Chain A
Amino acid sequence: MAKYLAKRIFYLILTLFIVITVTFFLMKLLPGTPLTNQAKLSQSQIALIYKQYGLDKPEWQQYLLYLAGAVKGDFGTSFQFSDQPVSYLLSSRIGPSLQIGLQAMVVGVVLGILVGAIGAMRQNTWVDTTTTVVSILGISIPSFVLAVLLQYYLGLKAQLFPIAEWGGFIYTVLPTLALGATPLAESARFVRTEMVDVLSSDYIELAKAKGLSRMGVIYHHALRNSLIPLITIVGPLAVNIMTGSMVVENIFSIPGIGEQFVKSVLTNDYPTIMGLTIIYSFMLCVVLLFTDILYGIVDPRIRLTGKAN
């Protein structure tokens, strides 16, 4: 296990290194400088700004400096807000994104498990049909459409929740719902398929033959076996939430990193885009590592060999 972990962490670092390197040189291909957003400046002013951003050095030096900085969490200075280090900008914004993202993940997956399990237990009845329709709708409706509808109907019309800005828990409700719909639908679908499979398996038949009650069979045998594989889709779901948050945070004017990403893209704020790319990649890598380890812990078949799949 320890060896496996060490290997995985090594790969995580290697991956991040590659991500940083590739993004850095991609960004160098881009037109535009910190000056693009500013009014006419004198030569000396330009030189000064170049120096401030370290653009006066050769590229390989810039790269090494950037790499050294990134390790310490320093991603340079924003082009758009010339007085703000990217790391400061992002650290003040990551809180709301994490909160909404985690809430959406938890709410979505928990409800998804419930919906999926109920569907599987009532297989081929109207209950099953309803849950299937709900999940396929959840997958098909883009989160930004849902966000606008929620904002209008629950926020503006019903006045149940604030429609924008960031304040307390109540402000997180609508964005959480908008972002949580896809994880809900995806996990419901996944759990249903998985559980239908499990319920028709031989070991469930044996559990019934032992005299376990219906609920006993579900609780002691079916649930664990159908939920363990759910861990494998947490990574893709995290990607989905990150992607969705870019638009949803915009719609609800939430000061998170998703909103910042869009803003930076529209203003060509390259250092911030790079910092965000690295942060997104870092978060995703951590989620994938975490789910892999978790899978190893909960599935006895993987525990011994120490590798997934």
Chain B
Amino acid sequence: MADTAKLPADSFKPMSADDRAALDSEKIAAPSLTFMQDAWRRLKKNKGAWVSLILLALIFILAFGSAIASPHDPNQVHPEYANLPSKIPGIGINGFNGTLVQAGQRIDAYKQAGATGAHYLMGTDYLGRDLLSRVLYGTRISLIIALVATLFDLTIGVTYGIFSGWKGGRVDTFMQRVIEIILSIPNLVVIVLLILILKPGMLSIIIAIALTSWTNMARLVRAQTLEIKEQEYILAARTLGESSLKIAFKHLLPNLSSVIIINTMFTIPSAIFFEATLSYIGIGISSPQASLGTLLNDGQKNFQFLPYQMWWPALVLCIIMLAFNLLGDGLRDAFDPRTKE
């Protein structure tokens, strides 16, 4: 038996109230967080998602800020400064120092063009327009298209999904059939058809994308609605005679929010992708307007000789896509109660 000889005399007194209080206070009560706070805390722990969020914020600020203050006018043509490569002050690496290889020799393109004082961070295009300004401008257009289209598709998708799931029965079956039919044609084909009917242009692109990409949202929201519908608090609200609209806004939407937010993060990049593809095909935004798609298309033509003209817009496009995808992934993990720590 353990040696208990040297125990202090008062050891076997019942635990005092003070001792007990001390014990209780030792328990660091985990602060109870609401679902959203908890998700937010977990999101912040996800490095990829966090960096993406900051990057996206930065891109948004730059892209929309450039509407007020742009390095150059994105549409200002300078034929004499055409096709100048990237020149970033302080960086001597070939490709960023304003030099390019011509006839086997590396020359300073800026000197040759007589623009020694100027530096275009991303270079200029074939008309001498500042590529950085154009990329910012294009990003803005792409984002506007994607955001507006996503907003529409959110409204359509969420409403459709809630309605279908809430009604259930035949209405639901019919509404799901309609989605299946829409999904049986590749989205891009439908978008192209719609744009042909509406005449190419920014508005028709937005409408076309919005009209086609809500199906995913509708399906997810419907599935979730079906699940929530059976829950007790909803049943209670129904028996108490709350109106459907009120139930939808008070009980349904808050519980659908995580599904909606996550899906939105994947809808935005797909809208950006569609817009870029349309511009690339040649029925997207038309000149002198620019989007990331049109810039890519322009840059690709000269990729062999002036690779930077495609690399820059491609880079920005990929970063935006990547950031939205990572953020979507992070949000999905954050909202999933299974990934506790």
Q: Which residues of B contact A (CB under 8 A)?
A: 177, 180-181, 184-189, 192-193, 196-197, 269, 273, 276-277, 280-283, 296, 300, 303-304, 307, 310, 314, 317-318, 321-322, 325-326, 329
Contacts and interface: CB of A to CB of B under 8 A. Distances in A.
Would you list the 5 A-B pairs with minimal beta carbon distance, nearest first?
A: A140-B321, A140-B322, A243-B188, A281-B185, A239-B186
Given A19-B184, A281-B184, A144 B277 contact: yes
A239 B307 CA distance: 30
Given A26-B197, A136-B326, A142-B273, A19 B188 contact: no
Contact of B321 (A15, A141, A266, A268): A141
12 contacts: A19-B184, A136-B329, A139-B325, A140-B269, A140-B321, A142-B273, A152-B307, A243-B188, A273-B196, A276-B189, A281-B184, A288-B184
B187 A239 contact: yes
A148 B325 contact: no
Contact of B304 (A26, A136, A140, A156): A156
A280 interface: yes
A280 B314 contact: no
B142 to A, nearest CB: 12
B188 A246 contact: yes
B196 A280 contact: no
B318 A140 contact: yes
B197 A30 contact: yes
Interface string A252-278: 000000000110011010000100110
Given A19-B185, A148-B300, A141 B180 contact: no
A206 to B, nearest CB: 20
B183 to A, nearest CB: 8
Interface of A: 11, 15, 18-19, 23, 26, 29-30, 136-137, 139-142, 144-145, 148, 152, 156, 239, 242-243, 246-247, 250-251, 261-262, 265-266, 268, 273, 276-277, 280-281, 284-285, 288
B314 A145 contact: yes
Nearest to A147: B300
A273 B325 contact: no
A139 B269 CA distance: 10
A19 B181 CA distance: 8
Nearest to B307: A152
Nearest to A287: B184
Chain A interface, DSSP helix/strand/loop, else mixed:
helix
A142 B304 contact: no
Contacts of A261: 189, 192
Given A262-B282, A265-B196, A277-B189, A15 B277 contact: no
A79 B187 CA distance: 24
A293 to B, nearest CB: 16
Nearest to B266: A139
Contacts of A250: 281
Contacts, number: 101
A276 B280 CA distance: 19
Contacts of B321: 139-142
Nearest to A151: B303
A137 B307 CA distance: 21
Contacts of B276: 142, 144
A275 B305 CA distance: 39
A137 B319 CA distance: 9
B189 A142 contact: no
Nearest to A281: B185
Given A26-B197, A30-B197, A144-B277, A266 B283 contact: yes
A140 B184 contact: no
Nearest to B195: A265
Nearest to A239: B186
A155 to B, nearest CB: 11
A143 B252 CA distance: 38
B148 to A, nearest CB: 20
Contacts of A246: 188, 277, 281
Contact of B322 (A137, A148, A262, A288): A137
Nearest to B281: A262
A267 to B, nearest CB: 11
B86 to A, nearest CB: 18
A26 B70 CA distance: 42
B304 A30 contact: no
A15 B281 contact: no
A145 B317 contact: yes
A285 B322 contact: no
B197 A284 contact: no
A61 to B, nearest CB: 23
Contacts of B303: 148, 152
B322 A29 contact: no
A271 to B, nearest CB: 13
Contacts of B307: 152
A74 to B, nearest CB: 20
B193 to A, nearest CB: 6
Contact of A243 (B187, B310, B325): B187
A217 B8 CA distance: 57
A142 B192 contact: no
Given A30-B196, A266-B282, A277-B193, A142 B277 contact: yes
